[in-house]
A and B are shown apart, each in its own frame.
Chain A
Amino acid sequence: MKITYREALRLGLREALARDERVFLMGEDVGRYGGTYAVSKGLLAEFGPERVRDAPLSELAFVGAGIGAALGGMRPIVEVMTVNFSLLPLDQIVNTAAILRHMSGGQFAVPLVIRMATGAGRQLAAQHSHSFEGWYAHIPGIKIAAPATIDDAHGMLGAALADGNPVLVFEYPALFETTGELSAEAIDIAHAKVRRQGTRVTLVAYGNCVPKALQAADRLAEEGINAEVVDLRVLRPLDMDTVLASVRKTRRAVVVDDGWRSGGLSAEIMARVMEQAFYDLDAPVARVCREEVPIPYARHLEEAALPQADKIVAAVKGLFQ
């Protein structure tokens, strides 16, 4: 069955709501409006306003309420419309959801899923184009899922709900119209995946940079460089085994990160490769990141600020000079 990324997300939500009556969806415009990105369209009619619950523009309170409801025996899916607005409930995410279990001596689990759209590329300017997955991946106690494929868009929500920990699922509007076959493959939130086999360089990417990395790999292949593409899928905990296995094979790596360079996730991955596979490398690890600017509105400037296939190609070629 060929479906879009958006439909895959919706199918995942519908299945989660149908499977377990403790599950409910809560957020701004998730019900009557049908979801800002039409992801939850139709779910209100199917599951009713108690379980597809429109919330006021009170991200701090309804994310905190999601934590309380999870502790109180429910399995909430809280939608924060976009990552940009997730800075408002950051306190509840960091100071409660992430630390409650450890700080209480292991007494409480917080089985909460927080979904949010992330990333740039749609000319929405600086306040609507952030990519904070890497920030969130800094925090122990939460897990970070970044679905880049149809199967992951469909299956990661169920895996997140089954996990029993607070999980942030980042969805990519830039990918919402992409289509693909839905497979019967079991989806976890524990492992990275090789999306394209290659021999000479490893491209490490996640989320909306995965298609860019694949595009770059196609172009590199035309020039005789066979690139392997690793989709991290889960940004915390990081599956370094898969990354390192690939790097040890190809002996070169380029990390592609939609976040800013300084103190970012790319730096963490490069550091771990250096710590664990330094002597397997034939060249220093390189990276392609978001330029260190707020994302501008004008299309040409926005494109220049983001990781693109040609920048990845250039970075790879740099490793062979």
Chain B
Amino acid sequence: MAQPRPDTVFAPWDEPDAKPLIQFKNVTKRFGDFTAIDDLTLDIYAQEFFALLGPSGCGKTTLMRMLGGFETPTEGTILLDGVDIGPIPPNERPVNMMFQSYALFPHLTVWDNIAFGLKRSDMPKDQIGDRVEKMLKLTQLGKFAKRKPHQISGGQRQRVALARSLAKAPKLLLLDEPLGALDKKLRNETQFELMDIQETTGTTFVIVTHDQEEAMTVASRVAVMTEGKLAQVATPDQIYEAPNSTYVADFIGDVNLIEGTVEVQAKGAKPTDVSIKWSPTETPIDATSDTPPPAASTVTFAIRPEKVAISNERPEAANVMEGKILDIAYLGNISTYHVEVAPGLIIKAQATNNRRISRRNLTWEDHVYLSWTDTAGVVLTE
């Protein structure tokens, strides 16, 4: 797994000398008039767990199918280990794919499904059995080896598909919505299994998903895609804490977006300070930005609900707003409060429910204060 470890941090994308495993160079893919991928450039490094995240129709599946060899780019090149893989047919690529529908061969047993690719490789016959057994063990499928795909459950099928695509020890494994067909609980367990398997085998994984939680959990880096373009490529925490656009901020998790204009910096302010005027009558929002936008430009201030505190009394903080509770969404561990701070502007605030219901003192129509520090939100210009 690509989590930071105490001694070394796995972050080849930050090392200037690192050689990427996959390079997309100005790749465009058109289907007739429709542009699925629009002049996209991207590097993916060996041993990464790379997630392509986006709504359906954003081009993420097309991007993956081009790696698998099922689509060819209209323009641009795709390099694998520095070799242009454009003209190589899928059956000769050192890449394997786990299909969204699993695509298990219904007429073959689990064992034969896993052995399918090995029988078509250079592997000597006597080693195939060992390899299949190893894959069965890795995915805990030993006792289902003799069954046909329709005789096992959905979760087991998912593992067969994984075992089959890993059996040939590909340089790169592509996973198309691998957990999409599983129910939520099974999905959560399987996410961790996937991460374990990725770590044990050291294979580079590229996963396509529309589930942001899944992408955040498993991936070392996430690429958020929209309309054939990359909106942002970064680690999960960067994507969440420092989105580069309102699109990314809005797509990942829950967010409050407040539009405003940048005020002229007050005297004595730090160069990173930004003050945003969002209403003619109210106090401006104080925020910080590494690249402060020029005065009078239009910006969007984005802040996550869990970073907004809610209270009955006016607190001491960089930003304080007062308003009225319109709605409360009780989710068990947390509650989300919808607070109207100005006509038409509703800000969501989240609070952990560390007391039982009867003891809590916020309810509908209450007059409350929202507050956050000046570093809690991000200033977005896009």
Q: Do A and B interact with each other, yes or no? A: no
- Chain A positions within 8 Å of B, measured between CB atoms, are none
